[in-house]
Chain A
Amino acid sequence: MATEILMPALSPTMEEGTLAKWLVKEGDTIESGMIIAEIETDKATMEFEAVDEGTMGKILVEEGTEGVKVNTAIAVLLEEGEDASAAETAAAEAPAPATDEAPKATEEAPARAPASAAAPAPASADAEPDWPEGTETKTQTVREALNAAIAEELRRDPEVVLMGEEVAEYEGAYKITQGLLDEFGAKRIIDTPITEHGFAGVGVGAAFGGLKPIVEFMTFNFAMQAIDQIVNSAAKTLYMSGGQMGCPIVFRGPNGAAARVGAQHSQDYAAWYAQVPGLRVVMPYSAADYKGLMKTAIRDPNPVIFLENEILYGRSFEVPVLDDFTIPFGKAKIAREGSDVTIVSFGIGMTYAMEAAEKLAEDGVEAEVVDLRTLRPIDYDTVIASVMKTNRCVTVEEGWPVGSIGNHLSATIMTRAFDYLDAPVINCTGKDVPMPYAANLEKHALTSVPEVLEAVRQVTYR
């Protein structure tokens, strides 16, 4: 049967081109792979190879023709034993240009919109406490709580391993992994070379292979070396594989400014990672949250970014004494109830928010403080419900202002609760500068309690 040779698309965007030159003539024998024509696209002149074998029956589009649409029949190829009349017939039958429309998806379901339009949806916050009333608690530092969470999960699941720089013999640069090598051995607690890009990739590969690695970055500043593996390999593979390949991994370590370590060691990555679908992003404040959320992170079948804070490591909080204490992702906590203004924060930002709330109370302003705890998923409902109650909102974080978590919340509040707002939302953030080293400048570069107080005064018109 005669085969039509169609004008090929030679780039992802090509719709038409010039048939610059025929390198064969009618009657020539054509072999698979033979270059038969030169075609000019908007970018280059390309050689066009034959796919099928046969004899060139008829050239339908002369060389030098411009604007030949992709899929137009340009020649007819004859098989062994066919004569030119077959070419004529095929050419006559040729629909030009040939279309090969894809069968459309039968289900024209409307694409789910990420946020519904302005109609203020009633927000229902889940106010269930993290642990039953009357549960015994003990005072623990964030460091102790994290260590306990990791150790409990290592005991519970033999497929959990921990790797990173100095995690084993040195027992952690910040002593989060103290005692783990002793209890679990070198097979499960693995010191890596200083090679973030490489060991993040090894961790992701091990997770593809079914293990549940915890990868410690000595700080998240160094994870920038590894961010391709985190975003392109860990976060996207489940999607790209149509659900076949999960990546149960936790990337954890201190994030954001510590004290006087300068621009390269002080960045807050909350907003960066919170932007990536496929990742879970956790940034806790209290020791109880560190514990309950770390245990959930290790059990989660998805890649989790667990953003810790060096300054918080030594802070003490009440932690429930329970055999297996976990906190679900996507559930914010009302850290303080109030009716005059909502302050939304997370991680170390909570220190400013709570201190400001105490000071405001002295002046008779009752702030409601919402601790987001997880940034992906974000518990929008709790934030919206609080704003609908207080009609005012201030957000607090240490990260940079452009594209911050506060920006995103402001937009969401505007969309979902515009009619409830009595003042514009104000974002308290770190300043739009690299972190300086000098003590006074560093303090100035971060947000502060006075800034939060000033923002609250503005939104409450005091």
Chain B
Amino acid sequence: MAARKATAKTAAKPNVSSEELMAYYRDMLLIRRFEEKAGQLYGMGLIGGFCHLYIGQEAVVVGLEAAAKDDDKRITTYRDHGHMLACGMDPKGVMAELTGREGGYSRGKGGSMHMFSKEKHFYGGHGIVGANVPLGAGLAFSDKYRGNDNVTFTYFGDGAANQGQVYETFNMAALWDLPVIFVIENNQYAMGTAQARSTSTPDLYKRGEAFGIPGEIVDGMDVLAVKAAGETAVEHCRAGKGPYILEVKTYRYRGHSMSDPAKYRTREEVQKMRSERDAIEHVRTMLLDGDHASEEDLKAIDKEIKGVVNEAAEFSKESPEPALDELWTDIYAAEIPQENA
């Protein structure tokens, strides 16, 4: 199948219920408020090292989670807080990992870029750009081997799309019909390098053509467009037709990491995206204009989210640092469980 360009950018009459639309609004707002709080805690020195915020890109993970089922797998690179919140991981555990505390998902041993939840089928949080792409195909390999209909959402950025192992993976995923959706979150900057300065051809959704992998370009600022594209991709994978590529055009409002002065783009460019294309505002407008919700309903959600995020922040401050003995645990898995021995 040839790569095709989606014609309809925005679903004019969204085929979703009011409840669903409210849920997307809530989930996106949770990510934004969580990230703002994380930025604040970083500024206070409570979060250390690298911290890559997802602000601006919320519609991508929320839209794709809306197309996923519980047993599907997810894996991403280092800008991973949004993915974790979207798949239902506890904001308290995520925030406490950011502050390096015992209550964090990795008990403080992973940090912002390295978090996992086996329960939610979230396979990380990987710090090496592009390395998660073959890992995602491997997860899909395990599901295909078992003969279930799970798919693996493998997220990476426009920067990672230039890594060689991505193409090694495309080849094997297509060759073996692996049920993997390659989600290229194109936020248009690989750290400080604009796409045009790093990438010979702009259309990343066509990068699978040489391997026979269908691709689609998606408006990543429109949660319903993302959901619709996700559903197409999921259907393709579950039907055993092999991998699918979604190039989701999005935009990050903040710097690459907290220490990024962002001199590679103008303030006006960021402000324009924020004021004209913001994904959360988009859903908010839909909710109000379509009479799906009142201002009061949305205020109540805002308030609830504020509470959730504040609670996460409090937890992340109060949770103790890991005991020093933690230094020496989890290097090797314990002995083989008896039932497998």
User: Which residues of A line the B interface, CB within 8 A?
Assistant: 6-12, 14, 32-33, 35, 41, 43-47, 49, 51, 70-71, 98, 100, 102-112, 157, 161, 187, 192-193, 195, 197-211, 228-229, 232-233, 237-246, 248, 277-278, 280, 299-302
Closest Cβ neighbor of A243 among chain B residues:
B330
Whether the Cβ atoms of A209 and B321 lie closer than 8 Å is no
A205–B138 CA distance with the chains assembled, in angstroms: 4
0/1 string, B302-336, CB within 8 A of A gives 1? 00000000000000011111111101111111111
- Give every chain B residue within 8 A of A208 (Cβ-Cβ): 123, 135, 138-139, 142
- Give every chain B residue within 8 A of A187 (Cβ-Cβ): 145
Contact of A105 among B118, B124, B320 (CB under 8 A): B320
- Give every chain B residue within 8 A of A244 (Cβ-Cβ): 105-106, 116-118
Whether the Cβ atoms of A110 and B324 lie closer than 8 Å is yes
- Give every chain B residue within 8 A of A103 (Cβ-Cβ): 318-321
- Give every chain B residue within 8 A of A207 (Cβ-Cβ): 138
Given A205-B142, A206-B141, A301–B175 Cβ distance below 8 Å?
no
Nearest chain A CB to B165 CB, angstrom units: 5
Closest Cβ neighbor of B335 among chain A residues:
A301
Given A9-B43, A239-B109, A209–B134 Cβ distance below 8 Å?
no
Beyond the given A47-B267, A71-B44, A245-B124, could you list 18 further A-B residue pairs with CB under 8 A, ordered by the A residue number?
Answer: A8-B40, A9-B44, A11-B258, A11-B259, A47-B262, A157-B340, A187-B145, A195-B168, A198-B168, A201-B135, A204-B134, A209-B142, A210-B142, A239-B330, A244-B117, A244-B118, A278-B332, A301-B333
Within 8 A of A (CB), among B119-139: 123-128, 131, 133-139
B18 in the interface, Cβ–Cβ < 8 Å?
A: no
B73 in the interface, Cβ–Cβ < 8 Å?
A: yes
A14–B39 CA distance with the chains assembled, in angstroms: 15
Contact of A242 among B110, B143, B318 (CB under 8 A): B110
0/1 string, B155-177, CB within 8 A of A gives 1? 00000000011001101100100
Whether the Cβ atoms of B138 and A243 lie closer than 8 Å is no
Within 8 A of A (CB), among B76-131: 99-102, 104-110, 114-118, 123-128, 131
Given A157-B340, A229-B134, A71–B45 Cβ distance below 8 Å?
yes
A129–B11 CA distance with the chains assembled, in angstroms: 72
Whether the Cβ atoms of B169 and A202 lie closer than 8 Å is yes
Whether the Cβ atoms of B117 and A51 lie closer than 8 Å is no
Number of A-B pairs, beta carbon distance below 8 Å: 239
Whether the Cβ atoms of B131 and A243 lie closer than 8 Å is no
A241–B124 CA distance with the chains assembled, in angstroms: 8
- Give every chain A residue within 8 A of B114 (Cβ-Cβ): 237, 240-241
Q: Can you report 29 residue pairs joining A to B where beta carbons are below 8 Å apart?
A: A10-B259, A35-B267, A47-B267, A102-B320, A102-B321, A106-B320, A107-B324, A108-B324, A161-B145, A193-B168, A193-B171, A198-B171, A200-B134, A202-B138, A202-B169, A204-B138, A205-B137, A209-B141, A229-B131, A229-B134, A232-B127, A233-B131, A237-B116, A240-B110, A241-B115, A242-B109, A244-B106, A244-B116, A277-B331
User: Which residues of B line the A interface, CB within 8 A?
Assistant: 36-37, 39-40, 42-46, 48-50, 73, 75, 99-102, 104-110, 114-118, 123-128, 131, 133-143, 145, 164-165, 168-169, 171-172, 175, 253-254, 258-259, 261-263, 267, 274, 317-325, 327-336, 340-341
Given A43-B259, A107-B324, A102–B99 Cβ distance below 8 Å?
yes
Whether the Cβ atoms of B172 and A202 lie closer than 8 Å is yes
Whether the Cβ atoms of A12 and B135 lie closer than 8 Å is no
A46–B261 CA distance with the chains assembled, in angstroms: 5
Whether the Cβ atoms of B133 and A201 lie closer than 8 Å is yes
Closest Cβ neighbor of B105 among chain A residues:
A242
Given A105-B323, A201-B131, A245–B259 Cβ distance below 8 Å?
no
A161–B141 CA distance with the chains assembled, in angstroms: 11
- Give every chain B residue within 8 A of A300 (Cβ-Cβ): 336
- Give every chain B residue within 8 A of A109 (Cβ-Cβ): 323-325
A195–B168 CA distance with the chains assembled, in angstroms: 6
A185–B50 CA distance with the chains assembled, in angstroms: 46
- Give every chain B residue within 8 A of A203 (Cβ-Cβ): 138
Nearest chain B CB to A38 CB, angstrom units: 10
Closest Cβ neighbor of B255 among chain A residues:
A46
Given A12-B259, A241-B116, A245-B123, A104–B134 Cβ distance below 8 Å?
no
- Give every chain A residue within 8 A of B317 (Cβ-Cβ): 100, 102
- Give every chain B residue within 8 A of A46 (Cβ-Cβ): 259, 261
Nearest chain A CB to B105 CB, angstrom units: 7
A161–B142 CA distance with the chains assembled, in angstroms: 10
Whether the Cβ atoms of B101 and A102 lie closer than 8 Å is yes
Closest Cβ neighbor of A329 among chain B residues:
B332
Closest Cβ neighbor of A241 among chain B residues:
B116
Whether the Cβ atoms of A51 and B106 lie closer than 8 Å is no
Nearest chain B CB to A392 CB, angstrom units: 33
Whether the Cβ atoms of B331 and A239 lie closer than 8 Å is yes
